[in-house]
Chain A
Amino acid sequence: MGIVACTRCTKAWPLGTQVCGRCGHKMVSRDFQSLQKVWALWLVGLMCYIPANTYPMLKTKTLFQVDESTIIGGAVELAQHGAYGVSFIILVASVVIPLAKFWAIAYLAISVKTRLPAGNHSRQLMYEIVEYIGRWSMIDIFVVAILSSLVQLKTLATINPGPASMFFALSVIFTMLSAQAFDSRLIWDQEAKDRGSRQDV
């Protein structure tokens, strides 16, 4: 149609306009480097996620023992104490959601290149869920922050953050950036192309 639209404020401009005249956001009709950025950030996120699971997240010092627990280890421990609800929340927020997010971003990025069995609406929904839910993985970092500032009871018990917390935060931040780099308009281009050719005939 010869127009390019601002993805920040929805205003339309003639094709080739570089910067939106209303809000000053940079504009490109399709961000073809989008997928490269997505994959690069995705990979960094995944690389950070590995040490986040192998290093200890919390160092708990009680009277007689020092206890270092990883994310999964901590959740298992909680379940053994009978706190099934909390251990379930932790497992979902810091294991299931991050892994699902890696899978979903990869699926979306692959799906705009090749046809995969998922409709546009379900892919759009998937993208919105990934964007919405990505932030919630930070909950684990906040729990560690609260615990390690609160539980400073001198000799009785102290909790300190372990190195995994840093890697986990980085992993969450990079996957959020990766999801933001994805140009969701690419999802709909296949349909527009199909319909366009049909109408031309």
Chain B
Amino acid sequence: MKDTVDHELAIPLADIIVCPQCDAVFHLQVPEIGEKAVCQRCHTVLIAPKRKAGLQIIAIAVGIFILLIGATFFPFLDIDAAGNKNSVSILDAALAFANGPMILLALVTAALIILIPLVRVMLTLYVLVPIVLDLPPARHAIQAFRVSEALRPWSMAEIFVLGCAVALVKVADLATVGFGPAFWMFSALVVLIVAQESFMCKWSVWNSLEHPKRS
């Protein structure tokens, strides 16, 4: 198979990095902390190590975990229209479809906004804690990280928050809506999730899982 880089294959395969988006082949040079290695052809970020990223990600992940549990059960929004009151938690919102044949949709919604973010946080902790503590990787850590990466697009907490904003405007003229503690928890959660994404360098994690002693 021909590719853009045409030099002889004198480099060992371990020193090669291939862009997952466009399949361009590069000689692996691990960038300094704070720098980025970017694919020259399609500009996908390949490696982006950050100082003490592991510890920061763990701290954030613990925060996400606590907020997620709290936000699930505390009241999220309450509504008051002419004396009729109702308050809901996120779990109630997720299970809004639970009557009749729409139960499937209820399960999907609950998974997308609560379960999958929760699973991803736990997998991240499971994989990263041993690495940061310089211990050998946890059992099946590699599978765990792979599952976590595969679940990434299906974790939709941040979309749910924007959905709240739209829903609020829709009912604003019908009734008075108040925010419960879970609303603020969930908003903080979204900021944390975005921060965690930006700290995580996938290549560094794979590399330290492969060579545990070097980490």
Contact = CB atoms under 8 A, between A and B. Distances in A.
7 contacts: A8-B149, A120-B41, A142-B113, A151-B174, A153-B86, A195-B4, A196-B3
Tell me the dominant secondary structure on chain A's binding face: helix
Interface string B124-135: 000000000000
Interface residues of B, number: 69
A78 interface: yes
A113 interface: no
Contacts of A138: 112, 156, 159, 163
B203 A1 contact: no
Interface of A: 1-3, 5-15, 22-25, 29, 78, 81, 83, 85-86, 89-90, 120-121, 124, 131, 134-136, 138-154, 156-157, 161, 165-166, 169, 173, 176, 180, 184-185, 187-189, 191-193, 195-196, 199
Given A22-B209, A81-B173, A166-B105, 4 more contacts: A22-B210, A138-B156, A146-B164, A150-B171
A145 B24 contact: no
Contact of B13 (A14, A29, A156, A189): A14
Given A10-B20, A166-B105, A153 B202 contact: no
Contacts of A166: 97, 101-102, 104-105
Contact of A165 (B102, B113, B166, B167): B102
Contacts of A151: 79, 86, 171, 174-175
